[in-house]
Structure 1
Amino acid sequence: MLPVDILRNFHLNNLERREHIRIYNMERRIMRDNSDPFALRDEQFIGLFRLSKEMVQYVYNEISPHLNQTENVIAIPNLLKLLVALRFFASGSYQSCIGQSYNLSVSQPTVSNIIKEVSLAISELSRNWVKFPRTAEEKNRIKGRFMSQTHFPGTVGAIDCTHIAIITPQDEEHNYLNRKGFHSKNIQIICDYDLKILNVNATHAGATHDSFIWRHSIIQEELERWYNLGDRNSWLVGDSGYPQQCYLMTPIIDAAPGTPEFAYTQAQMRARNCIERCIGVLKGTFRCLMAERKLRYQPQKVGHIVIACSVLHNIRMSGHQNLEEILLPENHNNFDYFNNHIDVGGMQARADLIERYFN
């Protein structure tokens, strides 16, 4: 074959390929524009997007001003952007699978861009939806729930960390390699007894220990400020990886059965159980956060996704959606680690608590 014939065939094949892509995109856009996910049955809609139709409409109204606006007739509508992101959060499937979904139908690169844009917009809602108690009324309400359900006094939240798997980051890779041998971000979460997330810290790499994240968190500073202002009856509950402090109660390892210390530890464990359930429900609902899914974004974007899912979790909680259908993942953070730091004031605060309530 002559070179001119080769060039002609290459040109014809290229034109044919471009025409095929054009027709495919046009068909996909027609299918997308003619589909109406809101026509799905309520149960099916919630199964796909995790939120009710009313909740999705609320989130859309809140984030719409923060999404990119365009008059381009072939641009992705903002409501569809939200549904694409919600479907990814819910399933954790690869982006190409989300894009080819029968009622979404967008390309994989578009899905990736949508997830970044929508995650950032939803994470901005955390100011209103993920809030640590500030007033005496808010603190007393949370304390009352813990006391009535677990018989552990003074508790304004339960704290723990969980690892969110990520692809190998481009920068400071070694800082993200955790003790389990995979790259992750270590996320600190605080919740109340009813599994509402009160605070989420998504800034730290996977190699960072829970106690370090706590000591450098704004909530530690806030509780210390409360204590210094005279509030000596408000604390979090955490596991033995955390330091015992005046405002953070931890269990007593190997407390002898029948002793006040044992009674204290049993009640403390009951109070702390809610954070394990909260993390399980969060990951079970938004499966993109589960380890086997591995978020394919750089750390900062992963932080936005985690915060966005926390906001959506609390919105679900506000609507009292049934959480029993969610399968809890396996133990999320099973390091055999005990914090050896001795805080004399914290030890005395725990001894005083045991004397008052568990003798």
Structure 2
Amino acid sequence: MGHIRRNLRNQARPLEMSDNEFRANYRLSKEVFRDLCGELGPLLSTARRQTKISIECRVLTALSFYASGSYQKYIGMSFLHGVSQATVSKIVNEVTLALNDERILRQYIRFPQTRQERQAVIQGFSNKFGFPGVMGCIDGTHVALFNLLQICDSDLNILNIDATFGGATHDANILWRNSPVCNHMQQLHENGEITWLLGL
């Protein structure tokens, strides 16, 4: 069975999909996918077995799971990935851990720290939606086993994610009151810098 899956992987050519089809399957452009592989490659284990699975295949498998929320068995059976359900589980775990590496998080998820950075985000909301003084949109949500609080800017860039409480609470207000961003926003107001987060 392993050699059949290996042959499927070798024959699959996901990068030959049209740009629209690739984005529909993986929620990323091919260019962003290539950049992501380059950044995650050093953080992913090097397989030494004959049936080793390339970094590209591992990242695509994880992206497919994230994009569809589908069962691992379906993703593994796809001719685009050609891996077992158990392997999908390992791949998703491995890629998720790599994405949560501090070096990756610091590079891409950053709450505005300076007045200049905050003004740039505020200007984005003002230009796009006419909201004055808005520094982000915030919402609490329940995702699988984790509750998280997420803040994004007007271009949907993630500024902050907090999953500190895991499945311990279903109340977004509790998540917010215990979030470091809550204290940060209060300090800004106390210092006379009036900014807002939009939320439901």
Structure 1 and Structure 2 fold alike (TM over 0.5): yes
Q: 1:147 to 1:103 in 2, by over 3 A?
A: closer
Identify which of 178, 185, 189 aligns with 1:216: 178
Q: Distance in 2 between matches of 1:43 and 1:146?
A: 28
Paired residue for 2:122, among 121, 127, 143? 143
Q: Cα distance, 1:35 vs. partner? A: 2.1
Instruction: Supply the distance in 1 between the matched residues of 2:8 and 2:178 (Cα, whole angstroms).
Output: 50
1:31 offset after TM fit, Å?
2.1
Q: 1:190 aligns with which of 144, 151, 154?
A: 151
Matching of residue 226 in structure 1 with residue 173 in structure 2: no
Q: Which residue of 2 aligns with 1:56?
A: 33
Task: Specify which of 19, 27, 33 is matched with residue 42 of structure 1.
Answer: 19
Structure 2 residue aligned with 1:29 = 6
Structure 1 position 53, deviation (Å): 1.2
Partner SS state of residue 192, structure 2: coil
What stretches of structure 1 of length at least 5 have no aligned partner?
1-23, 167-184, 240-359
Q: Name which of 126, 129, 133 aligns with 1:154.
A: 133
1:43 Cα deviation from its structure 2 partner: 1.9
2:164 aligns to what SS in structure 1? strand
1:39-87 Cα offsets, whole Å, 9 max, x none, are 2222222221111111111000001101011332222112111011011
Q: 2:52 aligns with which of 56, 75, 90?
A: 75
* Alignment partners' CA distance in 2, 1:74 and 1:25: 7
1:157-178: per-residue Cα shift (whole Å, max 9, x none)?
1222111134xxxxxxxxxxxx
Separation of aligned partners in 1, 2:127 and 2:6: 55
Aligned length: 197
Q: Give how far 1:91 is off.
A: 1.4
Question: 1:203 is paired with a residue of what secondary structure?
Answer: coil
Matches within 5 A, 1:103-252: 103-124=80-101, 125-166=104-145, 185-204=146-165, 205=167, 207-228=169-190, 230-239=191-200
CA distance in 1, matches of 2:193, 2:8: 61
Alpha-carbon distance in 1 for matches of 2:21, 2:154: 29
**TM-score (structure 1 length as normaliser):** 0.51
Gaps of 5+ in 2: none
SS at match of 1:31: helix
Larger mean Cα displacement after TM superposition, 59-68 or 74-83? 74-83
| d(CA) in 2 for partners of 1:40, 1:146 | 35
CA distance 1:149–1:31, shift in 2 (3 Å): closer
Q: Are 1:163 and 1:206, in contact at CA under 8 Å, matched by a contact in 2?
A: no
- Contact 2:47-2:53 within 8 A present in 1 as well: no
| Distance in 2 (alpha carbons) for counterparts of 1:30 and 1:146 | 49
Task: State percent identity of aligned pairs.
Answer: 36
Report the 3-state secondary structure (helix = DSSP H, G, I; strand = E; otherwise coil) of the residue aligned with 1:146. Answer: helix
Corresponding residue number in structure 2 for 1:255: none
* Superposition CA RMSD, Å: 1.9
Q: Distance in 2 between matches of 1:151 and 1:75?
A: 52
**CA drift at 1:151:** 4.3
Taking structure 2 as the reference length, the TM-score comes to 0.89
